[in-house]
Amino acid sequence: MELTPAVIGQMLVTGVLVGSIYGAVAMGFSLIFGVVRIVNFAHAGGVVWAMYAVFLVTSGGVLGPYLATALVIPVFFGLGYLLQRALMVRIADMTEEMHIVFTFGLLLVLTYLAQFAFGHDVRFLASSERHLAFGGIVVQREILVGGGVAALSALGLHVALARTWLGKAIRASADNRRGAVLIGLDVRALQRVAVAVSVASAALAGGLLATFTTLYPLRAFELAILAFLIVVLSGIRSLLGSFGGGVIVGVLEGAGTLLLSPSLAQLGIHALIFAALLIRPEGLWGRKEAV
Amino acid sequence: MTRGRLVALAALLAAALAVPAGASGYTVNILTQICLYTFLAGAWNVMALSGLVSLGHAAFFGLGGYATAWLYVTHGVTPALGWIAGAVLAGAVAYAVYWVAFRCGLRGIYFGGLTLVLAESFRFAAINSPALGRSQGLELLGFHMPSAAVYALALGLMAGGMLLTWWLLRSPFGYRLHAVRENELAAEALGVDTFRSKLSATVLSAALTAMGGTAHALLLRFVEPESDFGLSVSLNLLLGTFLGGTGTVLGPAVGITVLFGLREAIALVGEQLAVGTAGVYALQQVVYGLILMLVVLLLPEGLVRVAGSWVRRWWPARATHAAAAPRTVQPGAASGPRAADAGSETAPLLQVAGLTRAFEGLVALRDVSFELYRGEILGIIGPNGAGKTTLFNVISGIHPPTAGSVHFRGQSLAALTPSQVCRRGLARTFQVVRPFASLSVLDNVIIGALVRARDLRRARERSEEVLDFVGLAARRDATAGALTIQDRKLLEFARALATDPEVILLDEVMAGLNPAEQERVAATIRRIRDRGITLLLIEHVMRAVMGLSDRVLVLDHGVLIAEGKPEAIVRDPEVIRVYLGGSPVPA
C-alpha cells in the first residue's frame, strides 16, 4: 500500500480511536490497583464476558449493540460490587504475588468458562457498513463511536474522581487508607464502589469492542496482557496515564500493521514496552499523578 | 541425609525406572510429563526462593526447546549438545535481562510485567522468524528416542532438580535467598549482596528451565510458538509450585502430580458427559483457575506445609531435636579483648566530613562533620526530622551522599552498597525492626554470621554464641515474627553482632520500650562496648543517651548544632531551645 498522507492520517485516526478503547480497559485496571492495591488480571475476563453478552443480545435481534451495552453496564456494576465484597476483600492483605496468582486464576475461570459455554469459534457482529469520510480519511462508524465514547467516559471518570465528593473520597482512601478511616470515610464501601465502577468500565469497553472486532474466548488473555502492559508502561498509579498508554499502543499497533504485519507489529510493541520498562521502571508517567 | 535414607531413595528411583517395562504407553507418557513438569516447577521455584515471581518462564523454556530443535534441524547437531547450548543461551539471556532489571530497580508488578513481556516478545519473534518456521514451528524429523529413554531422562531431571533444591535450602546461598525474600533491605544491611543473590538464582532458574524445555521438545518432537513460549507454560509452573508450596523440596512434585491427576480425572468425566476434547480442555482450565483461587484463599502456604503441620501434630516427637542441650559459652570469646584499645589511637575510626544529603528540594543533612573514635559510645540526638536516620542511611550506603565523604578506617565508603559497608565491619540496626519474620531467631542471626563464617556450621556456632550474649538463647527456635518488641530489638543487636563488626550504628533501639526494658537494652549496649565494639547511637530517650554516651552530637534540621560531653550538652542554651523546647532535662 502506498503511504499517502490520507493513508497515514487514517491509520493515526483509527489507531487513536481503537487505542482509546484499550485505554478504557487499562483505566479500569489501574482504578482497582489504585484503590484496592490488587493487580486484577481478571479485568479482561470481564471485558470478554461483556462482549459475549452484547453479542448474544444483539444477534438475538432484540436490541442494538449500544442499547445492549447500556443494559450490560449496570449488571456488571453489581457484579463488581459483589466481587469486591465476596472475594477481593479476603485477599487484600496478602502479598502482591498472591494477588497475581488469585486474579490469574479468576481470569482462567472466566476465559475457559466462556470457551466451554460458547466454544472457541471466532464470532463478530455484522457491521453497519457505514463509514464517515473527511479529507480522504475513512473511518468505520462503529470505530468512531466506540473510540469517542471510550475517550469521553475516560475523561468523565477522571473528572468525577477529581471533582465530585465520591471521587475525592475514593482518591483519599486510595492515597492513605488509614488517614481516610480516621476522617470517617467508610473505606470498605468506597472500595466496593471503585471496583464496581472498574468492572462497569470493563463492560463498556467490551460492548464497544464487540461492535467492530472479532470475539473469541482467548481474547481475554490477549486483552489481559495488553492492559497489563499498557498499565505497566504508563505507570499503574495514573488513570489518565493509562488512558494515554492505551492510545499510544493503539497507534503503534495501527502503524505496525500498516507498515509491517500484524504479528510484527505485536513484536515491535512488546520490544518497545520492554525497553520502556527498563528505562522508566515506574512507568512512563512515573508517580507524578496519583489516581 | 543418612545412609538409610539414601538407600531408600536409590531403591525408589530404581523402581521408578523399571515402570516402563510393565506399563502402558499412556501411563509412561503421563509419568514422563509429571516428572518433567515437576522438574520445571522446581526450576521456577529456585527463582521464587528469592521472592521473585516470574510470569514469563516460558521465555527460557522455549529458548531451550527452540535452540535444540534449530541446531538439530539446520545443522544436524545432536540434541545432547543442543541441550547444553539451550541452557547456556537461556542463562545468558537471563543474565543480561535481569542484570538490567535489578539495576533499574524494577519491582512488584513492573517486574512481573517485564517477565511477561519477555516471553511474549520471544513468541512473536518466533512467529515472525522464517528460520524458526514461523507459527508452524520446527519438527525434529528423523529424531527418535524411545519413550522409556525420554521417561528416564525426565525422571533423572526431576530427581536431580529435587536434590538441588534440597541442597540449596541448606546452603549459605539458600539462606541468603531466603533473607532476600523476607526483607531485601535488612538482608543487604546484614552483608547479603542482594543483587548478586537474585541474579544467581535467576540465571540458575533460567538455565534449568531451558533444560526442561529441551526435554519437552524431545518428548513431543516439535517446537511451536504457542506451546513453547505461550502463557500456559509459565502458568503451569506457577500453578504447580503454588499448589504444592513455594520454597519447599516436595512442593513442585506434589502440586504437579495433583494437577495432572485432576487433568486426567476431568478427561474421564468429560468422556462420560461427551463434551468433546475442546470441552474437556476448557473444563480442565476452569478447574485449574479455581484451584489457584482456592489455594490463595485457603492454603496460601501450599499443600506440603499444611501436610507437614499435620504430621507434626500427630507425631510431635519428630519435631523436637537436640535444642534443649545446655551449652556453656564464654561471652565475647570469639572477638577477644579489644576493649583495651579504647582511646589509645588518635586516628578516628569513622570520619564524616562535610556530609550533605538532599532529597530533591529538601536538604536532610547539611555539611555534617564529626569523628568517631575506637571504643567510644557516641550519641546523636535531635528532634523529629533532624536528619538522624538519613545520616545512618548515608553512612551505611543506603543513600549516596549529595556531597561530602565518609571514611572508615581511613578508607572512603563512597559508592559502596550496604552489604559492602557491612562486610567492611560497619553494621547497623533499624529503627523499625526488620526481622526475617518467617525464619527462626537462630536463622536470622545465621544470615548475619555468614558475612564472616565460611560454612553454615561455623555460622551456627557463632550465632549461638551471640544469642547467648544478648540473652535470646532460650528463644532461638522461635519464629522471629512471634517475638515481643523487646526481643525483636535484641534480635537486631544479635544479627548486627553476628557480622563481627567494629562499629554498630544503633537506630533508636529504646523506642517503644518501658523503663525496665530500656535498662536491659542499655546494659547490653555497655556489654557490647566492653567487647571492643564502637557504637554510634541515635536515641530519643534522653536519660538513656546521657547515661550511655561518652560524647553527644545534636542535629537540628540537618545541621550539627552542638557536640560535647553529655553534661555540657544538657546545659547548652541552643540545644535546650531546639530540642527541649526550654523545659528542663529529665535527670
- pLDDT tens column, B414-472: 889 999 999 999 999 988 888 998 899 999 999 999 999 888 999 999 999 999 999 89
Q: Which of B53, B117, B128 sits opposite A274 (nearest CB)?
A: B117
CB contacts of B104 in chain A (<8 Å) are 278-279, 281
Task: Point out which residues pair with A140 in neighbouring strands.
Answer: A131
Q: Which residue of B has its CA nearest to A266?
A: B124
Q: Say if residues B386 and B338 touch (Cβ distance below 8 Å).
A: no
CB contacts of A94 in chain B (<8 Å) are 296, 300
Residue B176 pLDDT > 50, yes or no? yes
Contact B231 A225 (CB under 8 A): yes
Assigned superfamily of B343-578: P-loop containing nucleotide triphosphate hydrolases (3.40.50.300)
Which of B50, B111, B117 to mutate to probe the A interface, most A CBs <10 Å? B117
Distance CA A76, CA A202 (A): 8
What is the span of the domain harbouring residue A135?
21-220+236-243
Say yes or no: B411 contacts chain A, CB-CB below 8 A.
no
Q: Which of B137, B138, B155, B139 has the alpha carbon at shortest distance from B147?
A: B155
Q: Which of B125, B231, B296 sits opposite A91 (nearest CB)?
A: B296
Q: Which residue of B has its CA nearest to A229?
A: B113
The sign one gets for the Cα dihedral B319, B321, B324, B329 is negative
Distance CA B283, CA B470 (A): 58
pLDDT tens, residue by residue, B518-539: 888 888 899 999 989 999 999 8
- Residue A115, C-alpha cell as written in the block: 470457551
- Residue A184, C-alpha cell as written in the block: 470517617
Contact A115 B125 (CB under 8 A): no
Give the minimum alpha-carbon distance from A86 to chain B in angstroms, rounded to a whole number: 12
The phi and psi torsions of B387 (rounded to 5 degrees) equal 105, 15
Say yes or no: B88 contacts chain A, CB-CB below 8 A.
no
Which of B122, B287, B292 to mutate to probe the A interface, most A CBs <10 Å? B292
Distance CA B298, CA B499 (A): 39
Contact B128 A108 (CB under 8 A): no
pLDDT value, residue B231: 84
Q: Which residue of B has its CA nearest to A39?
A: B109
Calculate mean pLDDT across residues B43-63.
Answer: 92
pLDDT value, residue B8: 85
B9 Cβ contact list (under 8 Å, min separation 6): B1
Q: Which residue of B has its CA nearest to A260?
A: B128
ipTM: 0.89
The phi and psi torsions of B364 (rounded to 5 degrees) equal -85, -30
Residue B74 pLDDT > 70, yes or no? yes
Q: Is B393 exposed, middle or buried (0-12, 13-18, 19+ CB in 10 A)?
A: buried
pLDDT value, residue B345: 56
pLDDT value, residue B316: 65
SS3 B458: helix
pLDDT tens, residue by residue, B347-402: 889 999 999 999 888 889 999 999 999 999 999 988 888 888 899 999 999 999 99
In SS3 terms, chain A reads as CCCCHHHHHHHHHHHHHHHHHHHHHHHHHHHHHHHHCCCCCCHHHHHHHHHHHHHHHHHCCCCCHHHHHHHHHHHHHHHHHHHHHHHHHHHCCCCHHHHHHHHHHHHHHHHHHHHHHHCCCCECCCCCCCEEEECCEEEEHHHHHHHHHHHHHHHHHHHHHHHCHHHHHHHHHHHCHHHHHHCCCCHHHHHHHHHHHHHHHHHHHHHHHHCCCCECCCHHHHHHHHHHHHHHHHCCCCHHHHHHHHHHHHHHHHHHHHHCCHHHHHHHHHHHHHHHHHHCCCCCCCCCCCC
Give the minimum alpha-carbon distance from A50 to chain B in angstroms, rounded to a whole number: 18
Rounded (5°) CA angle B73-B78-B79: 85
pLDDT value, residue B73: 94
B378, B430, B516, B549, B554 from B538: Cα distances, Å: 9, 10, 19, 10, 10
Q: Which of B110, B112, B279 sits opposite A281 (nearest CB)?
A: B110
Q: Say if residues A28 and A192 touch (Cβ distance below 8 Å).
A: no
Contact A107 B289 (CB under 8 A): yes
Q: Which of B353, B348, B342 has the alpha carbon at shortest distance from B408?
A: B348
Q: Say if residues B494 and B466 touch (Cβ distance below 8 Å).
A: yes
For chain A, how many structural domains are there in total?
1
CB contacts of B238 in chain A (<8 Å) are 101, 104
pLDDT value, residue B333: 40
Task: Point out which residues pair with A138 in neighbouring strands.
Answer: A133
In SS3 terms, B84-108 reads as HHHHHHHHHHHHHHHHHHHHHCCCH
DSSP H helices, B471-541, are 485-498, 515-530
CB contacts of B100 in chain A (<8 Å) are 278
Distance CA B178, CA B444 (A): 10
Give the minimum alpha-carbon distance from B460 to chain A in angstroms, rounded to a whole number: 31
SS3 B569: helix
User: Is A258 part of any domain?
Assistant: no
pLDDT value, residue B343: 46
SS3 B571: coil
Q: Encode B407-416: b = buried (16+ Cβ within 10 Å), e = exposed.
A: bbbeeebeeb
Distance CA B60, CA B46 (A): 14
Rg value, chain A, Cα? 19
User: Is A266 part of any domain?
Assistant: no
- Torsion angle of C-alpha atoms B526, B531, B535, B540, degrees rounded to 10: -20
Please report, for chain B, how many H helices and E strands are present, in that order. 24, 12
Give the minimum alpha-carbon distance from A62 to chain B in angstroms, rounded to a whole number: 29
Say yes or no: B546 contacts chain A, CB-CB below 8 A.
no
Contact B110 A283 (CB under 8 A): yes
Which B residues 244-283 touch A at CB under 8 Å? Answer: 275, 278-279, 281-283
Which of B226, B283, B293 to mutate to probe the A interface, most A CBs <10 Å? B293
Residue B67 pLDDT > 80, yes or no? yes
Contact B110 A232 (CB under 8 A): yes
Which residue is associated with the grid cell 523476607? B182
Give the minimum alpha-carbon distance from A189 to chain B in angstroms, rounded to a whole number: 21
Distance CA B577, CA B561 (A): 11
Contact A101 B296 (CB under 8 A): yes
CB contacts of A29 in chain B (<8 Å) are none
Question: In chain B, where are the structural domains located?
Answer: 19-232, 343-578
pLDDT value, residue B25: 86
- Residue B256, C-alpha cell as written in the block: 504437579
pLDDT tens, residue by residue, B212-257: 999 999 999 999 999 999 888 888 888 889 889 888 899 999 999 9
Distance CA A269, CA A264 (A): 9
Distance CA B282, CA A112 (A): 5
pLDDT value, residue B144: 87
Give the minimum alpha-carbon distance from B67 to chain A in angstroms, rounded to a whole number: 20
pLDDT value, residue B324: 42
pLDDT in tens, chain A (291 residues): 677 888 888 889 999 999 999 999 999 989 998 888 888 999 999 999 999 999 999 988 878 899 999 999 999 999 999 999 999 989 988 888 888 889 989 999 999 999 999 988 898 888 777 888 887 888 888 999 999 999 999 999 999 998 999 999 988 888 888 888 888 888 899 999 999 999 999 999 999 999 999 999 989 988 988 888 888 888 777 788 899 999 999 999 889 888 888 888 888 888 888 888 888 777 777 653 333
Contact A267 B125 (CB under 8 A): yes
pLDDT tens, residue by residue, B269-285: 888 888 888 888 899 88
Q: For chain B, what is the mean pLDDT?
A: 87
Q: Which of B186, B223, B173 has the alpha carbon at shortest distance from B58?
A: B223
Q: Say if residues B116 and A225 touch (Cβ distance below 8 Å).
A: yes
Q: Which of B315, B311, B318, B403 has the alpha carbon at shortest distance from B352?
A: B403
SS3 B365: strand
Residue B1: band (very low, low, confident or very high) from pLDDT cuts 50, 70, 90: low
- Residue A142, C-alpha cell as written in the block: 462503529
Residue B581: band (very low, low, confident or very high) from pLDDT cuts 50, 70, 90: low
Rounded (5°) CA angle A201-A205-A209: 170
- Residue B170, C-alpha cell as written in the block: 541448606
- Residue B437, C-alpha cell as written in the block: 519474620
Which B residues 103-142 touch A at CB under 8 Å? Answer: 104-110, 112-114, 116-118, 120-121, 124-125, 127-128
Q: Which of B107, B120, B295 sits opposite A225 (nearest CB)?
A: B120
CB contacts of A228 in chain B (<8 Å) are 109, 113, 116
A47, A225, A226, B403 from A53: Cα distances, Å: 10, 22, 21, 62
Distance CA A256, CA A269 (A): 8
DSSP state for residue B350 in the 8-state scheme: E
Strands B377-381 and B534-538: parallel
Instruction: Say how many residues make up chain B.
Output: 587
Q: Which residue of A has its CA nearest to B289?
A: A105
Q: Say if residues A237 and A30 touch (Cβ distance below 8 Å).
A: yes
A14, B371, B413, B552 from B352: Cα distances, Å: 61, 6, 10, 15
pLDDT tens, residue by residue, B330-353: 444 444 434 444 444 578 899 999
Distance CA A129, CA A132 (A): 10
B188 Cβ contact list (under 8 Å, min separation 6): B194, B417, B418, B419, B422
Give the minimum alpha-carbon distance from B246 to chain A in angstroms, rounded to a whole number: 11
Contact A267 B121 (CB under 8 A): yes
